[in-house]
Amino acid sequence: MSQSYFRVLFWLVLSVVLLGSLLPSKVSTLAIFSCDKFMHFSAFALLYFFAERAYCTVFSGLILGFVVVGFGLAIEIAQNFILYRHADAFDIIANACGVLLAASIINLHKFYEKTQESSDDVIR
């Protein structure tokens, strides 16, 4: 898939995460604590995946990781000023863990591809 396709997906996921984080939540936070953290983890893993696929040729993966985690931190700070939302440090941790997992999987995949190319050169 082309980078432009991943850029559209990145901005779409970013918009959904932003709207979902700043609009009122109708579900009790205590009732879905673990589900909420899983949603944060998943959303930021997906967000980092699309960011890496869309912008890795322009920025390094480390910078992209910091930007995505920083975006999550900015959302939590913004939620602190919204009456119907509240900031949660565990959300930031879940966001960062999602980014770390996605970055790890991407880097392992790149490493595997590189070792496969190296072994193909040895066989020839």
pLDDT of 21-49, one tens digit each? 888 876 555 555 568 899 999 999 999 99
Q: Is the pLDDT of residue 51 over 60?
A: yes
The confidence score (pLDDT) of residue 121 equals 58
pTM of the model: 0.84
For the stretch 70-85, pLDDT in tens is 999 999 999 999 988 8
Q: How confident is the model at residue 123 (pLDDT cuts 50, 70, 90)?
A: low
**Degrees to nearest 5, angle at CA 49 with 43 and 26:** 10
Task: Specify the long-range contacts of residues 85-92, CB closer than 8 Å, at least 24 apart.
Answer: 85/21, 85/22, 85/24, 85/25, 86/29, 90/37, 91/36, 91/37, 91/40
Give burial (CB, 10 Å; 0-12/13-18/19+) of 24: exposed
